[in-house]
Amino acid sequence: MDSAFMRQMEGYGLTTAQIFYRLPDQPSLLQQFIWQQYDLAPDFPELAHFLDFWNSRIDGPLHSVRIAHKRLIKPAEFRAVNGVVTLH
């Protein structure tokens, strides 16, 4: 079974982070990096781990992070129907 599907069954949803950071040699310029992974809202442990890695190992200091999150697998919508229509 696909590991991405299993994570979705555990409650993970697709998370996209738009990360703006300053260039080390030109601090007045911002660069953009897009990160996408399955993560748990609202704590986002995978994103927090990645940002910790960024702060410790990458020279470009973070400016801001924008997050979008969507659970792809969720309970089906159910609507009760009162009546039956028969077509020939």
The pTM (predicted TM-score) of the whole model is 0.77
- Decide if pLDDT at 20 tops 60: yes
pLDDT, greater one: 2 or 58: 58
Cα separation, 70 vs 16, in Å, equals: 9
Rounded Cα distance between 69 and 52, Å, is 20
Write the pLDDT tens digit of every residue in 23-72. 999 999 999 999 999 999 999 999 999 999 999 999 999 999 999 998 87
Backbone angles phi, psi at 39, to 5 degrees: -150, 165
Tell me if residue 87 falls in helix, strand or coil: coil
**Closest to 74 (Cα-Cα) out of 10, 17, 29, 2:** 10
| Distance, CA of 12 to CA of 43 (rounded, Å) | 11
Q: Is the pLDDT of residue 79 over 70?
A: no
pLDDT at 11: 86
